[in-house]
Amino acid sequence: MSNDLTGESGGGTSMASRWLVVLGLIAGIGTAVWMALPEAPGSMDKGSVAGDYQLPDLHGEIQSLPKGEAILLNFWATWCPPCRKEIPSMAELHDKYAPKGLKIIAISVDKRRDDLANFVEEYRMPFQVLHDAEGAIARHYGVFRYPETFLIGRDGKVLYHLVGAVDWMSASVTQTVETMLSAPAAGAEDHGAVDGDNKPGI
């Protein structure tokens, strides 16, 4: 009986050792996976000071976020059906309010510049289109659902963060744009991020 008890105890110890090894391997793999994860996205919610960028337009010229302007900053892609859906009304909004000072900037996360250029020409997009091929600026803004749009006031702060396709010629949108255009510019020099609540009001 003594031998039987000793045998059971030894088997239990062996089993416990194996489990510790397995748990150690799982922990090691989990750590490796965590370390390999991409950098966490940023956040540009309501009240944040809009982050600046350096991105090429379709002519290869580097552009940055305009200062002291009322801006509609749209993140999109040619392969995104809701993005295509809102382009016509966005073009109408541009035609109506660009002469009054509204800046519409569409940042594409398409990988291939040629695909983007052909699409813009086909859809006759009249506003500025920039190319974020690596998605770095999209991540900086915390964007991962397309389209996403940020309405930025003349003071450089995010007024609204909208997710999904929008009817840009709806009454609520045009009223908001007119309010943005009537506001004075102030504090547009600082373009670092601050915390804010995401409560779209449109």
Q: How would residue 176 be classed by pLDDT, with cut points 50, 70 and 90?
A: very high
DSSP for 134-172, please give it: T-HHHHHTT--SSSEEEEE-TTSBEEEEEES---TTSHH
Q: How would residue 184 be classed by pLDDT, with cut points 50, 70 and 90?
A: confident
**9 and 95 housed in the same domain:** no
**161 and 73 housed in the same domain:** yes
Instruction: Express each pLDDT in 86-133 by its tens digit.
Output: 999 999 999 999 999 999 999 999 999 999 999 999 999 999 999 999
Q: What is the pLDDT of residue 51?
A: 93
Is 197 a domain residue? no
Q: What is the pLDDT of residue 101?
A: 96
Q: Give dist(CA 4, CA 10) in Å, integer.
A: 10
Is 188 a domain residue? no
Please determine, for residue 36, whether its predicted confidence score (pLDDT) is greater than 50: no
Query: Do 148 and 75 contact (CB within 8 A), yes or no?
Result: yes
Q: Give dist(CA 169, CA 172) in Å, integer.
A: 8
CATH number, position 112: 3.40.30.10
**104 and 165 housed in the same domain:** yes
Residue 53: is it exposed, middle or buried by C-beta count within 10 angstroms (0-12/13-18/19+)? buried
Range(s) of the domain holding residue 11: 1-37
Q: How would residue 3 be classed by pLDDT, with cut points 50, 70 and 90?
A: very low
Cβ-defined contacts of 118-124 (< 8 Å, 24+): 119/78, 120/58, 123/84, 123/87, 124/91
